Amino acid sequence: LAGGCILLDLEPGPSMAADVDLTACIRSIARHFKLIEEQSVLCRLANSEVLCIYSSTEPLPADTLSSMIDAIRTDSSVPDGVKPHIAHLDWKAGTISVNGILDRLKAELTPIDEPHLLAHLDAQQHATSHASFLLRLNQALEAGELDFFIQPQICSEGRQVIGGELLIRWIPSPGEIIPPAHFIEFLEQGEFADKFFHWSLVRTAQVLKSVRDELDMWIPLSLNLATTHFHDRQMMTALADTMRENNIPSEILEVEITERILADDPEAVLENLEHLREQGFKIAIDDFGTGYSSLSYLRRFPLDRLKIDRVFVSNLEENEEDRLIVTSIASLAHILGLEIVAEGIEEPFQASFLKNIGCEYFQGYLTGKPMPVDAFIEFARHNPEHSEWLEEPSKFRSEHSLESKARKVKWKKSFSTDVVSVDNEHRALIDALNTFSDLYMKDPESIDITETLDVIALEAIKHFDHEEDVMFNIGYPRYEMHREKHKWLIADIAKRKLEISEHKQGTSFDEVLQYLKYWLLRHLVSEDTHLHRFINKPSSERRT
């Protein structure tokens, strides 16, 4: 049961005549509440207060609330000297008491002639809803409604269970699951985030030990941690302490971080990750490809595995661009010595293709959906019975081989922005990378890495300047964001060049080349396709 309440207070001012009948005024104003189409009840709380309670599964439309407020503002029955105040609150059964609703409404009463009343009510509503939902989430944690499910991770060769990822689920009642997207933000910020973090450590230890006791062996599991936790050494220490106190080998727990975490505060994150590695924990970079990882970060950070995001896996068979990006990511991971986990695998073709390009581990509905801990234990115990999907011969085996040095970037029609000058510069960048690739294949000793980076950087800067002019002149709405990404890449190349000049012996040309190929494909496929779509819109549909 859910709905909302609207409290209207016809607050008498000092200039109101003594003989004014507020009852007649309230009767007149009450008709305006009929604009609320949901089931509603009106009641008078005090001499000057009227409360409307309605039930609805959806929030009250803003235009309905606006029309009602306008009608009350202009109602001629409101006597001189009366200053109407209004407050609005959504509610859900079980999240707040009746007295709590009334207390909040009265505390948030706002003059109806407030110039920005709707925005004010919306802000109050958001804050109230936020607090109410946070209270409910806290109650759910204490009641045991939050728990971890585990999604199996399968070896692409032997198809045995080699681990799993811990995924939070909210189960308010048997058979009912609230999707994580509805509450995940509350687990990553504020006071509840800290409480949840400490709960998750204890629960993770319990799960690891349960799996160990039932299967008579440790099975590694991975745990996602929020960005804020990597800025707090005490949190990292708590993680290590929890595993040690429960006699759990630290290498059994893998900590997953995102590309965003690497970029937020790299020095602080690096220090904390090195601390975890010293304790024996494994580190994986999650959702790779959805952000922009600096090659310097990928080399400096103590990473063990790279997880390819499902967004690049879901359309592998139909989308050539996704195949190119995934292959490029796999090449980069191998060069950096990182194991690869592909997420979101649902079809046999995806598994066959990813295995062909060297992906060691699979995670997805094809190999096992997220399941309760007990179900995961049974799944792992009888794993051979769950791994009988048929491999499909890859239609793209020759095109996407494991030989990363020989693979070239080929111009595709889908790369076109429909701006000839921009397309020509894209082709020039592709040609430059392919030329260096050919030279490296023929004579690796003839290649100077810093000179290569200089050539690519100059081509990129020239291209970026021109592309930004085109975007600015046509009123491209993503211009500023695109420009920032251009600046970021040039800065990253400069940083990488400096590191190479200081430590030449530890640098692989293939590593640099594959990173540049990966970046260029991301630039062409994920960024400039937006420009192509904008250019091909009718002028009347373009919005800045």
Indicate whether 362 belongs to any domain: yes
Indicate whether 391 belongs to any domain: no
Q: Final residue of a domain: which of 89, 121, 137?
A: 137
Where is pLDDT greater, at 425 or 183?
425
Q: Which of 35-39, 49-53, 208-212, 220-224 has the lowest mean pLDDT?
A: 35-39
Where is pLDDT greater, at 400 or 427?
427
Domain co-membership, 155 together with 204: yes
Give CA–CA dist 234/224, Å, rounded. 17
Indicate whether 161 belongs to any domain: yes
Domain co-membership, 437 together with 510: yes
pLDDT on residue 136: 81
Contact, 523 vs 292, CB < 8 A? no
Q: How is residue 87 annotated by DSSP?
A: E
Q: Final residue of a domain: which of 137, 165, 188?
A: 137
Indicate whether 46 belongs to any domain: yes
- Residue with token string 């959504």: 90
pLDDT digits (tens, 9 = 90+) for 289-333: 666 556 666 777 888 999 998 888 988 888 787 888 888 888 888
Q: E strands, 18-58, where?
A: 39-44, 49-55
pLDDT on residue 223: 95
Give CA–CA dist 456/306, Å, rounded. 26
Supply the CATH number for residue 362's domain.
3.20.20.450
pLDDT on residue 404: 46
Domain co-membership, 455 together with 515: yes
Whether the pLDDT of residue 44 is over 80: the answer is: yes
Q: Which residues lie closer than 8 Å to 26 by C-beta, 6 or more apart?
A: 10, 44, 50
Give CA–CA dist 488/485, Å, rounded. 5
Locate 368 and state its tokens: 């096992």
Confidence of residue 373 (pLDDT cuts 50, 70, 90): very high
Give CA–CA dist 163/22, Å, rounded. 70
Domain co-membership, 55 together with 94: yes
Domain co-membership, 371 together with 514: no
pLDDT on residue 73: 83
Domain co-membership, 102 together with 148: no
pLDDT on residue 97: 62
Measured CA to CA in angstroms, residue 259 lies from 139, 159, 306, 324 at distances of 32, 28, 10, 20
pLDDT on residue 514: 79
- Domain coverage including residue 171: 144-386
H/E stretch holding 27 reads: helix 22-30
DSSP symbols for 467-516: HHHHHHHTT-TTHHHHHHHHHHHHHHHHHHHHHHHH-GGG--HHHHHHHH
Indicate whether 196 belongs to any domain: yes
Q: Which residues lie closer than 8 Å to 40 by C-beta, 6 or more apart?
A: 33, 52, 53, 54, 55
Supply the CATH number for residue 527's domain.
1.20.120.50
pLDDT digits (tens, 9 = 90+) for 516-530: 887 787 777 666 777
Domain co-membership, 185 together with 330: yes
Q: How is residue 61 annotated by DSSP?
A: P
By CB atoms closer than 10 A (0-12, 13-18, 19+), residue 278 is: exposed
Q: What angle do CA 279, 282, 284 make, to 5 degrees?
A: 140
HEC sequence for 99-142: HHHHHHHHHCCEECCCCCHHHHHHHHHHHHHHHHHHHHHHHHHH
Give CA–CA dist 432/426, Å, rounded. 10
Give CA–CA dist 372/234, Å, rounded. 30
Measured CA to CA in angstroms, residue 61 lies from 67, 176, 467 at distances of 10, 27, 42
Helix (H, G, I), strand (E, B) or coil at 86: strand
What mean pLDDT is reported for the chain? 81
Q: E strands, 219-265, where?
A: 221-224, 253-258
Q: Which residues lie closer than 8 Å to 211 by C-beta, 6 or more apart?
A: 218, 219, 221, 373, 376, 377, 380
Domain co-membership, 75 together with 223: no
pLDDT on residue 286: 87
pLDDT digits (tens, 9 = 90+) for 472-512: 998 888 888 888 888 888 887 888 788 777 765 566 777 78
pLDDT on residue 401: 47
Give CA–CA dist 414/401, Å, rounded. 22
Indicate whether 110 belongs to any domain: yes
Regarding beta strands 2-12 and 161-173, do their DSSP bridges make them parallel or antiparallel, or are they unpaired?
unpaired
Domain co-membership, 526 together with 453: yes
Q: Is the pTM of this model over 0.85?
A: no
Domain co-membership, 498 together with 444: yes
Domain co-membership, 155 together with 74: no
H/E stretch holding 213 reads: helix 190-215
By CB atoms closer than 10 A (0-12, 13-18, 19+), residue 60 is: buried
Q: Which residues lie closer than 8 Å to 521 by C-beta, 6 or more apart?
A: 321, 324, 325, 328, 409
pLDDT digits (tens, 9 = 90+) for 83-114: 888 888 876 655 556 666 787 788 778 888 77
Contact, 99 vs 51, CB < 8 A? no
pLDDT digits (tens, 9 = 90+) for 144-174: 999 999 999 999 888 889 999 999 999 988 8
Half-sphere exposure of 385 (CA within 13 A, CB side): 5
pLDDT digits (tens, 9 = 90+) for 113-143: 776 676 666 665 555 566 677 888 888 899 9
Read off the amino acid at residue 33: F
Give CA–CA dist 410/242, Å, rounded. 50
Indicate whether 170 belongs to any domain: yes
Indicate whether 148 belongs to any domain: yes
Give CA–CA dist 134/396, Å, rounded. 49
pLDDT on residue 82: 81
H/E stretch holding 73 reads: helix 62-73
Q: How is residue 255 annotated by DSSP?
A: E
Confidence of residue 196 (pLDDT cuts 50, 70, 90): very high
Residue 190 φ/ψ region, left for φ over 0, alpha for ψ in the -120 to 50 degree band, beta for the rest:
left
Domain co-membership, 350 together with 421: no
Burial 334-358, CB ≥16 within 10 A → b, else e: bbbebbbbbbbbebebbbbbbbbbb
Whether the pLDDT of residue 15 is over 70: the answer is: no
Supply the CATH number for residue 16's domain.
3.30.70.270
pLDDT on residue 242: 96
Tally the domains of the chain: 3
Q: How is residue 310 annotated by DSSP?
A: G
